Every structure is written in structure tokens, then in C-alpha cells.
Structure 1
Amino acid sequence: MPDSDQQRALLNEQERQLMKRALALARAVEGRTSPRPPVGAVLARNGQIVGQGATAPPYGPHAEALALRAAGPQAQGADLYVTLEPCCIALHTPPCTEALIAAGVRRVVVAARDPNPRVDGRGLDQLRRAGLLVELLDEDDPLARQARELLRPFATLMLARRPYVTAKWAMTLDGKIASHTGDAFWISGPQARAWAHALRDRVDAILIGAGTARRDDPLLTVRLAVGGRRRARRPQPPRRLIITASAHLPPQLRLLNTPEEAETWLLVGEHVPAERRLALARPGVRLIEVPCEPTGRVDLGLALQRLAAEGLMHILLEGGAALTGSAFDCRCIDRVAVIVAPALIGGARAPVPLAGQGLPYLRLAATLRNRRIRSLGHDLLIEGEVDYHPSTALADPTDPPPEAATS
């Protein structure tokens, strides 16, 4: 990480509006750019936009390159407002830093540094050495926080080498995701369900377990409300993922027979017999073998690494209690989005959102940071990033409580 002192940007209201425009451009391509981050860029002269762009679908031009192309000769002497530090390395496209220098851009205002260890401030340094005025938003600036939120899936891919995982579920006020008979349609109201489809439109894939696939026979498609926020067209819909060690799936499942809707990927155990794999082979269905844990379950951590290698950056987990609990146990849930309906079901056998091993003591509970709570019709939406207790990685549920250990 370069040690050069970064000049912090103090933007006036007009400049803040230009950065807000860059953020809006980035949001419009969220879920469409993996494995690259969604970035928005705006070029302005005297406060007037002369060019703008957002990251093109996989391996197309970067946002800065598209903004420069739109501005043409007006880029010379212009100011750039960009949500992510311009890249300084050549991968699938030339470095944006060199293009900005060659175009004669005067000033670059950046909302967030690049979490890629190969960049991480080096792009800013290169621009500064070339004589450009470079400013970085303060980390506490609301616009900088919005930019970092958009970049979290990319940062997770770069630093953890796995996709960012958002777990979503709907539950009643007493914490049930279905009645004791299995009835769950519908816990949430129409506004909450519309929001859930908009969330699906921002991810690369939707993940469920075999139990949910058999019980609900879902399509896992994106059905956006008419008149909803306009977003860039997707190169392809979110992949539909089923994780199953045994690959025991009914052949009539809709996920296995609707290739026109989206691809379906089956994350199956390595021990699945060849004849069973052959029975599941059909158009639009892909089998990915993943090692299993000693318990016989597919190793979720290794499965996520495989998905990262396939270019997936953000996964929406919509599984039942077993899969969501397993993801929580291995600290693979990065964000939760919980819809709480004002209803009570009761029942000792009614399922709850998280099963798995769980935590032995309340003091080890994971909490939420950057929480957001709002109403969706009659329902309540609670969102936040999961903050795991540092001790839970080593916690053993058979350990006695601290009080008992010293008594």
C-alpha cells in the first residue's frame, strides 16, 4: 500500500451532486459486472457533465474509459468524479490511469480506494505523479460509505477469495419461517416480495439447498414490479444454485427443466454416482463437484471458493434453516436482509431461520453493523452486515460457561 498522503476532498453541493450521479450509474449495473466491481464515472467542466459511464458487462470497458469516450476532446481540463480508484494495471482492458493522463484530465475525485491489493492506492499515486490533482473522499463521508457498500462484494472476492453472501429470509414476529405444517406462502406482503425480487436483480446467483428445492419447487427468477427503478440490462439472469451432497433431486423440478429462464448449477458431492449425475444432465443444468465434510455435507467454504473461481461475486442465500445455519456456523454470511411480518404462528415444531450448530453463549452472538430498518407495506425490513464475535471461530459448544469453569 503506498504511503503517500492522500488529499481529502471537500466537495461543494454541486460537486456532491456529480458524485451522487456517479454512484447512481454504479448502482444501475450492480449484479451485471462480475467479477469486476460496479463503478460509475462522471466527467464535468465548470459543473456541467461532458461524459459519463458505468462498468460494461464482463470484460468490457471500464467506467472511466466510457466517460472519456463520451466526452471526447472535452475531457481535457475536466474533473472526474468516480466511485472507485482508477485501475493502474492492465488485465482485460488498458489501465484507466494512463487513459486519464493521456486525455488531459485536470482533477480526479475518488469515493473509495481499490480493495484489490495490486492497486490499493497505487492508481492515485500514479495520477498524482503525472500532475493531476487527486482527492479522496473522507471515509466518514456518506458518499464514501455508499461507494464502499457497493464495493463490498468485490472486496470480499479480492480479500477472502469467495463471493459475498447475503442471507435473506422472511419470518413472523415470533421468528418462524413457516407453520408446523410447512405452510409459508406468503409470510411477507406484496411490497416486501417486490423488494425481494429487486434484491435478486442485484446479485450473480441465488442459492438454496435440496430441501427447499424439493419442498417449494421454486423458479428463483427475477420478476420486477412494473414501474420499478430502471436498471441496465443483464447479460444473463442470476444463476440458480442448488447445493446437495447426494444429488437426490426429483427430475421434474422446475429448476431442472426451465433453461429458458436461467442456468441452474448443482453443487454436488464428489461421491455422487455417475448414473445419478447422468440422470440430472440436461440443457441449462451444470454439475459442479465439491468435496464433502466428514459429516457428509458438501463443504460450503470450498463450494464458495469454486463459485468465486467461476466469476461469481455476490450470492443471495434463500435456503432453509439447515443451509442458512451451516453458512452462519462457518461465518460465510456477510449480510442479512430479514423481513419481519406482523403475524404470530407459534408451534414448537415450526421452523426458524437458523439451525446448524449455533453458538453456545449469548455473549458470542453476532451483531449487525450499518443497520437499516424500514417499512415495506405492513412488514419490517432489517438489513445489516454481520459482525462475528472474534471468539466464535474457536468456540466449542461443549465448553463450559466461564462461570462454571472457575467454580
Structure 2
Amino acid sequence: MARSPSTSTVDLDRRLMELALRMAHRMLGRTAPNPAVGAIIADETTGEIITRGWTQPGGRPHAEGYALDLAGARARGLTMYVSLEPCSHHGRTPPCANAIVAAGMRRVVCAIEDPNPEIAGRGLAVLRDAGVVVDLGLCAEEARWMAAGHILRMTRDRPFVQLKIAVSADGLIAPGDGAPRWVTGPEARQFAHVLRARADAILVGRKTVADDNPELTCRLPGLEGRSPRRIILDAKFRTSPTAKMLQTAERVPVTIFGDTRSTPPPYPRGVEVRRMPAGPDGRLNLSVALESLAAEGVTRVLVEGGPTIAGAFLAADLVDEVVIGHGTETLGSKGRMPVGDHGLEFLARSERWQTVEERGIGADRLSVHRRTGRFASEPTP
């Protein structure tokens, strides 16, 4: 009869897998088209951590290879904790599964299989065939959300979509006159820059550019170099060439999606124009736009548009996570609603959404809501 793992081993496994997930989290927005992965090499008999690895900028080296290089000969006989199945195919680097076998590792604790058709369980099979003990499924739910951009790109041909909304205490995004006004404090606004740094692209509609003239860059100290590409949905190419986003396009690229029947004006260098057929209502197909981005390696998109864009993405069931900053001031009954003509009550009332985080952020409150049933192993309401 197989011996059950001791409580101390189970606790250690969970603690080290959670650490591997934190290593992956630190690289969100920096590894596309590859997923952000974390890997820990440890001696499970003593609990000593030998090395910590994470996917490097641009996706190479992989987390496992990076950790093995740091560990060297010390990896023999030890355990690796990794947030995603090690690769098994030859690409720009040798397969990580083979490298783990060659290093003489005794055991691998893996959170989830990789849905990439070139891997899809083959990496774990390589390990098992070589006599490596494989334990699969620890912290699987959080690992799936960590790798959501990669998983959705592989299984649905689109990136992970995160919708960011800031609302007043009475659930509005702006005064009735539409005048720009902060509805959250500085800490919540700074966190928005962190969300940008974790994305591969930021998406807004033409009206947001026209009304607010934002830069949509990361301007927190230490994150200035992590501004992702900016995307504008503008069917008729009415965005002004003098908009701040376009004037900074040489430094941080901009892509404008528009209708094939519309003609864009001359845009500054660094602005890419991408045409696609609009529907009978004149609106662009959001799924087609996302598929276009995924095809070139974009895995995470942050939507920062106004109520029209937010409502369109939600109506098309293309939002995977909603992050809301709740301010403390009220805007009055004539203020603008955050999603089309509606509020956010559906997030609490619908079985399709699960609130996964609520916490204070300065004087404000932050809440995070995830769409249920996004992955094959979850039930779909």
C-alpha cells in the first residue's frame, strides 16, 4: 500500500507551490507570447530552498531551465515545484522536461498541465517514463488564473481580458456633465499603473481618447519601462493624430482597429492601422480583434475604456476578470453609469461571477471578480 504523505510534507508542498506562483506573478506582462511560470527547487527533507526560477523577459529562458542553471549539480535528488507543466518539445531552447531528467531530480510537483497542443501532458509523461515522481494538481485553480492568458490563447484563440473600472461611492464613473474627475484616491490610481504593467496590451475606445486624452502608460517609479502596447477601437478612424497616445507611439506602440471601408488620416510613426469589416451597426467585432492580437502573441489585455466599451465586452462574454476601485465620494443621481446604462450589481447577483478579493487601498476599496466556467475543469452556470 502506498504511504500517504505526511502532514508536514503536504504543508511544505503547498507553501513552496504558492511561492512558485508568486514567482510567476512577478513576471505577468513581461513574457508574452510565453506564459509566466515560477519554479522552485528544494530539498523536501529539510525544507531548504535551493533556487527560485521564473520565466525571463520575452519568455526565455523558461522558469525550469533558469532554476536548474542556478542549482547546477545541487538539483540531483531534489524536488521541483512548478506552476505549469514543463515543456517537452524542441524550440529555441531544449525541452525543460528532458533537462529535469538530466539533472537527476527525484520529484516534480506541478500545478496544472499545459494546454499547448505541443505539450498537453507529454512533458509529465517524459518525467514519469524516466522514473521521476510526478504529483499534479496542487494549487491548480490559482495556477490556471495565473496562466489564464496562455490557456485562453491555446483553447479559445484569444487573450485573457481584464476590465478595470473606477466608481464613486454611489457607483458612478463620472459626473452628469461628463467632465473628467477622479473618483478614487492616489493609491487606487497608482494601482492602475501596476495593472498596466501586468498586461501585454491596454485597450480603449475612440471616445475615451477624445474625452480624456490619456497617455495610458506606466508612470510609477520602476515601472516606466513596462508600458504595454496601446489599442484603440475606432471604426471610422476619427482619433486625432495629435492625441497624446499617438504622439508617444514611437516610444510605446499604438494599434488602431478600424473598418475596412474607412480611410485613416496620416498618423505619426509608431501607429499601426489594422482594418477589419464592421458589422451592420457600424461596430467592430471584438472577438475578431482579440483573435488578431492573440495570433501575434498577446496573452493579456487590460480594458480601460468607458461604459460603451465595457458594456460591449461584457455583453459579448469576453471579460474574464473585473477589477473595481470603489471611491468614497458621491457624484449624484445624474452621473454616468459604468457599464452602458447599468451599474455593477450583476457581479454580486449572478452565478457567472465570483468575488475573489476585497481589500482597502488607501481611503478606497478594491474588489476583484472572476468569470466562472472559463476553464474546462470548471462548471459553467
Counterparts of 1:213-362 in structure 2 under 5 Å?
213-224=209-220, 237-259=227-249, 261-273=251-263, 276-277=264-265, 279-280=266-267, 282-348=268-334, 350-355=335-340
Number of the residue aligned with 1:195: 191
Q: Is the 8 A contact 1:326 1:357 kept in 2?
A: no
Deviation at 1:314, TM superposition (A): 0.6
CA distance in 2, matches of 1:309, 1:43: 33
SS of residue paired to 2:292: helix
CA distance in 2, matches of 1:8, 1:128: 19
Task: Find runs of 4+ consecutive structure 1 residues off by over 3 angstroms.
Answer: 7-17, 361-367
AA at the equivalent of 2:314:
F
**TM-score, normalising length from structure 1?**
0.83
CA contact (8 A) 1:177 1:184 kept: no
1:163 correspondence with 2:159? yes
Contact 1:238/1:262 (CA < 8 Å) preserved in 2?
A: yes
Q: Distance in 2 between matches of 1:176 and 1:156?
A: 31
Change (3 A) 1:285 1:48: same
User: Where do 1:31-180 residues align within 5 Å?
Assistant: 31-45=29-43, 46-138=46-138, 143-180=139-176
Is contact 1:166-1:336 (8 Å) kept?
yes
CA distance in 2, matches of 1:55, 1:86: 12
| SS of equivalent to 2:326 | strand
Equivalent AA in structure 1 for residue 39 of structure 2: A
Match of 1:24 among 22, 25, 39: 22
Does the 8 Å CA contact 1:245/1:298 hold for their aligned counterparts?
A: yes
Unaligned runs of 5+ in 2: 375-381
- Cα contact 2:210–2:239 (8 A) shared by 1: yes
**C-alpha root-mean-square deviation of aligned residues, in Å?**
2.8
- 2:370 alignment counterpart: 385
Q: TM-score under structure 2 normalisation?
A: 0.88
**What letter matches 2:245 in structure 1?**
L
Report deviation, 1:28: 1.4
- Kept in 2: contact 1:154–1:313 (CA 8 A): yes
Q: Residue by residue, what CA displacement relative to the aligned partner does 1:74-94 show, whole Å, maximum 9, x if unpaired?
A: 222121111111112223332
Equivalent residue letter for 1:99: A
- Asked if structure 1 preserves the Cα contact closer than 8 Å seen for 2:214 and 2:244, the reply is yes
Change (3 A) 1:319 1:362: closer
- Give the 3 Å change call, closer, same or farther, for CA 288–51 of structure 1 in structure 2: same
Shift of 1:363: 12
Query: Residues 356 and 122 from structure 1, CA distance in 2 versus in 1: closer, same or farther, beyond 3 angstroms?
Result: farther
After superposition, the Cα gap between the structure-2 partners of 1:16 and 1:364, relative to the gap in structure 1 and judged at 3 Å, is closer
Conservation of the 8 A alpha-carbon contact between 1:8 and 1:136: no
Cα distance change, pair 289–317 in 1 and its aligned pair in 2 (3 A): same
Give the aligned partner of residue 377 of structure 2.
none
Q: Secondary structure at the match of 1:58?
A: helix
Provide structure 1 residue ranges, at least 5 long, that are not aligned to the other structure: 1-6, 390-407
For the pair 1:375 / 2:375, whether they are aligned, the reply is: no
Question: After alignment, is 154-163 or 73-82 more displaced?
Answer: 73-82
Q: In structure 2, do the counterparts of structure 1 residues 363 and 54 end up closer, same or farther at CA, with 3 Å as the change threshold?
A: closer
Q: Which residue of 1 is the match for residue 378 of structure 2?
A: none
Residues 348 and 355 in structure 2, CA contact (< 8 A), matched pair in contact too: no
Counterparts of 1:74 and 1:388, CA distance in 2: 41
Distance 1:59 1:195, change over 3 A: closer
Aligned equivalents of 1:9, 1:118: Cα separation in 2: 35
Shift of 1:197: 1.2
Could you tell me the percent identity over the aligned residues?
A: 37
Q: Does the 8 A contact of 1:9 with 1:137 survive in 2?
A: no
Q: Which whole-Å CA distance do the structure 1 matches of 2:33 and 2:124 have between them?
A: 22
Residue 256 of structure 1 aligns to a residue whose secondary structure is: helix
CA distance in 1, matches of 2:153, 2:218: 24
Secondary structure of 2:310's partner? Answer: helix
Aligned-pair distance for 1:30?
1.0
